[in-house]
Amino acid sequence: MADGLSEGSDLSAGEEGQEDVLTPAELITKLEEAWLNEKFSPELLENKSELVECVMEQLTHMEENLQRVRKGDVKASVHRMEIDRIRFVLSSYLRFRLQKIEKFFPHVLEKEKSRADGDPSFLSPEEFAFAKEYLANTEVYLRAVALKHMPPNLQNIDMLKAVPEPCLDSFVFLRVKERQENILVEPETDEQREYVVDLDEGSQHLMRYRTIAPLVSSGAVQLI
Amino acid sequence: MDPAEVEFLAEKEMVKIIPNFSLDKIYLIGGDLGPFNPGLPVEVPLWLALNLKQRQKCRIVPPEWMDTDLYTFTWNLNTDCNRRLNATGSDWTRLSAISHKYQFTFIIGQRANPRTSLTRNVMAVIDKPEGQSFTR
C-alpha cells in the first residue's frame, strides 16, 4: 500500500537558490535550533524568513495530503501529531520574536534603519510593519494620556532613550558546534583582565552573550 | 525554560518499542519510521511511543541506561544542580525523559511486569520525594 502521505519530502522547489537543498528532517532541526537561539538570546536575532516559509510549505503540503486520506487511519493520526508539534515550535519561535520586538521596538527599528543594503534583514516585512505601527500607537497613546498635559518644553519624548536596550551582558548557556579559537573575553570588574579562551567542539559553557553574539549569528554555537 | 518545554524537547529522543499492530513504513517530515510488525522491536520518538502506549498499541522497552545505579547517580545530580541545565544536552534531556518514563514504567510495572526487579527498583527511586538525596 503506497503511502499517500509521503509526497511532502521534496524540498527543492521551495528553497532559495543560495543553499544546498535541505531534507525536511534537516529543515525541522534548523527550525528547532533557531527557536532555541531566539528563546535564549537577549536581543532580536536575524530573521529566518526562508526557513519559516519552507516549514509552512511543508506543513500545508502535509495537511493537504491528510485531507485526502480517510479519517481514522492510524498513519493520519501520527502525521497529525507531528504537524502539531512542528506548528508549536514555529508559533513559539514567531511569538518570541514578537515579544522582543514589543520590548525593544525603538532599538529594533533603529537597527533596521541603519543597516547597510547588503546585510540580511532583522525583521520580516510583516514584522517591520508591526514594529512601526507599535511605535506609532505608543507615541499617540503617551501623547494623549500624559504628554499633552505637561509643560510645553517637556512634551517630546525620545523613544530610544525611554525604552531600555536589550542587555547584551546577560549570561547564556551555549554549546559549541564548530571549534573556535581565541575568543576574547572582556573583564567584568576592574580587578580582572581580559583573557582569551578556545572553545572546543561539543563543549558547553556559560558566558556573557556579548562575547559570543557573532558566533550565534554565524551558527558556530547553539544557545541552550 | 518551563518544564513543559523541557518535556517537549525530551520527547524527541528515540526509544525502542514493541508494537502489537502492523503498519508499513511512515514518512514523517522529521524522518522515516517503521515498518511496524507485531512482536518486533522498532525505534520511534518518545512522543509517539507514549501515545501508542496510551492507546495500548505497544510496549515500551526501557533503555539500557535506565538502570538503578545510574539512575540514583543522575537523580542526585538533578536534585543538586541548577534546573536550568535541563535543556537539550544528551544527559540532561534524559533526565527530563525520565519524568515521562516514570509514567510508562509505572504502567508497565503495574500491569505487565510487576515482579521485574528493574522496574521495582526504578519505581522505588522515582517515588523518592524531591530534595532528598538518595543514599544506598
The domain segmentation of chain A, as residue ranges, is 24-165, 167-223
At B20, the pLDDT band (50, 70, 90 cuts) reads very high
DSSP B36: B
Is A64 near chain B, with CB under 8 Å?
no
Nearest to B66 by CA among B86, B95, B89: B95
At A199, the pLDDT band (50, 70, 90 cuts) reads confident
Average of per-residue pLDDT across A151-156: 83
Residue found by looking up cell 487511519 in the block: A73
Task: Please give the residue that has the higher pLDDT: either A178 or A71.
Answer: A178
Instruction: Give the CATH class of A24-165.
Output: mainly alpha
Is B55 near chain A, with CB under 8 Å?
no
Is A8 near chain B, with CB under 8 Å?
yes
Is B82 near chain A, with CB under 8 Å?
no
Q: Using a CB-CB distance cutoff of 8 angstroms, which residues of chain A are in contact with residue B31?
A: 25
ipTM exceeding 0.85, yes/no: no
**How is residue A112 written as a grid cell?**
533596521
At A3, the pLDDT band (50, 70, 90 cuts) reads very low
- Report the CATH number of the A167-223 domain: 3.40.5.60
| Predicted confidence (pLDDT) at residue A21 exceeds the cutoff of 50 | yes
Phi then psi for residue A68, to 5 deg, are -80, -30
CB-side neighbour CA atoms (13 Å) of B62: 27
Average of per-residue pLDDT across A152-158: 82
| Predicted confidence (pLDDT) at residue A6 exceeds the cutoff of 50 | no
Nearest chain B residue to A80 by CA: give it.
B28
pTM: 0.76
- CA dist., res. A100 & res. A134, Å (int): 12
For residue A222, the cross-strand partners are A175
Is B81 near chain A, with CB under 8 Å?
no
Is A56 near chain B, with CB under 8 Å?
no
Q: What is the pLDDT of residues A73-117, one digit of tens each?
A: 778 888 989 999 999 999 999 999 999 999 999 988 888 888 877
Mean pLDDT of chain A: 82
SS3 (DSSP) at A197: strand
C-beta atoms of B23 and A75 within 8 A: yes
Q: Using a CB-CB distance cutoff of 8 angstroms, which residues of chain B are in contact with residue A88?
A: 8
Note whether A24-165 and A167-223 share their fold. Answer: no
C-beta atoms of A75 and B31 within 8 A: no
| Predicted confidence (pLDDT) at residue B14 exceeds the cutoff of 80 | yes
Structural domains of chain B, with CATH = 3-127 (3.40.5.50)
Among the listed ranges A3-17, A124-138, A192-206, which one has the minimum average pLDDT value? A3-17
- CA dist., res. A159 & res. A125, Å (int): 22
Q: Using a CB-CB distance cutoff of 8 angstroms, which residues of chain B are in contact with residue A5?
A: 26-27
- Determine what percent of chain B is predicted with pLDDT higher than 90: 8
| Predicted confidence (pLDDT) at residue B116 exceeds the cutoff of 80 | no
Residue found by looking up cell 524522518 in the block: B31
